[in-house]
């Protein structure tokens, strides 16, 4: 039923989404900026007009939009460069396109806003974040303990779509307040092979239990276990769920040229993602033993976030802006909590540790207007949220430095196009610790994103 709901919403309104071979340009699971205006200015957007995308940053900025209706249609296209290296053997696994739902990653944007008098209302469809990796089934990541080739894939695709219903109100000529309530859909594809040493580490530390644990331990020569739930479709995922989220915000004009902004996004409340899955025990003597059943990814939430921002209009042409954000990952991402129940009733529960740290991000941007053109540039710097000893090859969210540029072109008073380019500069991180890796690995990740949107005002 869930897939039947999400498919017409997304494919009926926008482009299909195909996952790419690495994380979207983001801080961990979240995109850098929402909409091309914010993205081109390093992700800043709390204290100036970023158009309809303000619904996902600071809904009070909707009061800065022109009077009347505005239709927003756009997409981000992401190109990734991700490499995982076995530091013992020198072997390399690159994330590439190996199946039909992992081509260039196109993330859609669609929104409508209406500004009349002191009130502005908006509704939209925006991606909040995501991940996609595809290492195929013949790299060192697909070898179980003892070098046993399995032919099983290692891949991931997480997509979070927000459907915000937002409103803002101009209290007076200085103060505006806003809020949004979001319907959230979240879908996950996963193919993950754990070596026997990883399975043993999880059991020994109390992170794996259930009636399937002694079954795995009773195999004559267990080399690993693989969990897979993947749908090769543009949006529909192996496991998915619906939930709610939202945010509140305000803007305050200190002077005619300077505006302060603040916004708080609440931690999401998304149901456990559920779907059909196969757990495959890999044994050197009896071969592969697949068990079909149901998987649950429990309490996988998007974190709360606090944004504080300032914008200053230097003159008729130049505007500068800055945001500082605190993202509360620690409360949202302690573990990946996986439950599997086989069709015969046997079960296993696994806690893969993440232990994310809260993250601070600084976004800086500038805009220059001349004639019908507005040129933009920016940068973003973040602290590292992911400890190296919990790095997973299928979830390498490690980039911390970003550069951006873009422009708007006003075709007429009613229509314009916005474009942004964002570069996440290459970052390296290593992990040689159980249970999240068997072989010692280093991850190297860089990425480019291009965002394009068309706005029509009437």
What is 2-457's CATH superfamily? Answer: Outer membrane protein transport protein (OMPP1/FadL/TodX) (2.40.160.60)
Decide if 313 contacts 332 (C-beta within 8 A). no
pTM of this structure: 0.91
Kindly state the tokens that stand for 60: 């009070």
Indicate left, alpha or beta for 46 from its phi (over 0: left) and psi (-120 to 50: alpha): alpha
Nearest to 244 by CA among 316, 301, 194: 301
The pLDDT score that the predictor gives to residue 78 is: 78
CA within 13 Å, CB half, 423: 8
Q: Return d(Cα 112, Cα 92) in angstroms, integer.
A: 46
Q: Return d(Cα 221, Cα 224) in angstroms, integer.
A: 9
CB atoms inside a 10 Å sphere around CB 125: 18
For 313, counting Cβ atoms within 10 Å of its Cβ (0-12 exposed, 13-18 middle, 19+ buried), the class is middle
pLDDT mean by block of 10 residues, the chain; 458 residues: 38 32 51 92 98 97 97 86 93 76 69 98 90 89 97 91 97 98 96 97 97 95 97 88 98 98 98 98 97 98 97 98 97 96 98 96 98 98 95 88 97 97 94 96 90 96
> Helix, strand, or coil here: 295?
strand
Q: Are strands 347-353 and 359-370 parallel, antiparallel or unpaired?
A: unpaired
Q: Return d(Cα 171, Cα 318) in angstroms, integer.
A: 27
Kindly state the tokens that stand for 114: 């209406």
Decide if 323 contacts 309 (C-beta within 8 A). yes
The pLDDT score that the predictor gives to residue 80 is: 73
The pLDDT score that the predictor gives to residue 159 is: 87
The pLDDT score that the predictor gives to residue 3 is: 43
Q: Return d(Cα 53, Cα 125) in angstroms, integer.
A: 9
Kindly state the tokens that stand for 204: 């020994």
Query: What residues does 227 pair with on adjacent strands?
Result: 192, 279
The pLDDT score that the predictor gives to residue 99 is: 56
For tokens 């803007």, name the residue.
Answer: 251
Domain residue extents for the chain: 2-457
The pLDDT score that the predictor gives to residue 108 is: 82
For tokens 């509704």, name the residue.
Answer: 123
Nearest to 166 by CA among 239, 46, 312, 57: 57
Decide if 248 contacts 264 (C-beta within 8 A). yes
Phi, psi of 404 (to 5 degrees): -150, 155
3-state helix, strand, coil in the chain (%, to 5): 10, 55, 30
Q: Return d(Cα 274, Cα 337) in angstroms, integer.
A: 12
Decide if 84 contacts 93 (C-beta within 8 A). yes
The pLDDT score that the predictor gives to residue 258 is: 98
Pinpoint the alpha helices (H) of 222-339: 329-332
């Amino acid at each position: 039923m869930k897939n039947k709901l999400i498919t017409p919403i997304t494919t009926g309104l926008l482009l299909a989404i195909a996952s790419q071979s690495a994380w979207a340009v983001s801080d961990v699971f979240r995109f850098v900026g929402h909409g091309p205006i914010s993205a081109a200015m390093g992700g800043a957007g709390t204290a100036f007009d970023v158009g309809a995308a303000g619904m996902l940053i600071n809904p009070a900025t909707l009061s800065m939009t022109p009077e009347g209706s505005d239709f927003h249609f756009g997409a981000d296209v992401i190109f990734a460069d991700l490499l995982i290296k076995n530091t013992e053997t020198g072997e390399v696994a690159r994330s590439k396109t190996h199946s039909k739902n992992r081509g260039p990653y196109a993330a859609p944007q669609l929104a409508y806003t209406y500004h009349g008098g002191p009130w502005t209302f908006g509704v939209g469809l925006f991606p909040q974040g995501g991940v996609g990796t595809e290492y195929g089934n013949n790299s060192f990541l697909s070898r179980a303990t003892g070098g046993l080739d399995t032919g099983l894939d290692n891949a991931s695709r997480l997509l979070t779509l927000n459907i915000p219903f937002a409103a803002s109100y101009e209290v007076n000529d200085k103060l505006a307040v806003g809020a949004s309530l979001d319907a959230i859909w979240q879908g996950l594809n996963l193919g993950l092979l754990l070596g026997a040493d990883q399975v043993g580490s999880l059991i020994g530390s109390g992170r794996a239990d259930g009636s399937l644990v002694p079954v795995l331990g009773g195999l004559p020569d267990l080399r690993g276990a693989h969990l897979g739930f993947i749908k090769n479709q543009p949006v529909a995922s192996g496991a998915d769920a619906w939930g709610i989220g939202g945010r509140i915000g305000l803007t305050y004009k200190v002077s005619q040229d300077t505006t302060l902004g603040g916004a708080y996004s609440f931690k999401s409340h998304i149901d456990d993602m559920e779907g059909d899955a196969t757990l495959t025990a890999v044994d050197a003597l009896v071969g592969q033993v697949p068990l079909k059943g149901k998987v649950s990814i429990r309490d996988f939430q998007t974190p709360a976030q606090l944004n504080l921002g300032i914008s200053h209009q230097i003159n008729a042409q130049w505007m500068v802006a800055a945001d500082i954000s605190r993202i509360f990952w620690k409360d949202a991402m302690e573990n990946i909590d996986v439950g599997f129940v086989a069709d015969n009733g046997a079960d296993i529960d696994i806690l893969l540790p993440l232990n994310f740290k809260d993250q601070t991000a600084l976004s800086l941007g500038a805009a220059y207007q001349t004639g019908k053109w507005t040129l933009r540039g920016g940068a973003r710097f973040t602290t590292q949220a992911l400890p190296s000893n919990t790095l997973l090859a299928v979830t390498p969210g490690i980039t911390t430095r970003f550069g951006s540029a873009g422009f708007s072109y006003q075709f007429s008073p009613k229509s314009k196009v916005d474009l942004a380019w964002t570069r996440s500069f290459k970052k390296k991180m290593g992990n040689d610790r159980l249970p999240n890796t068997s072989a010692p690995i280093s991850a190297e990740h860089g990425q480019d994103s291009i965002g394009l949107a068309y706005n029509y005002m009437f």
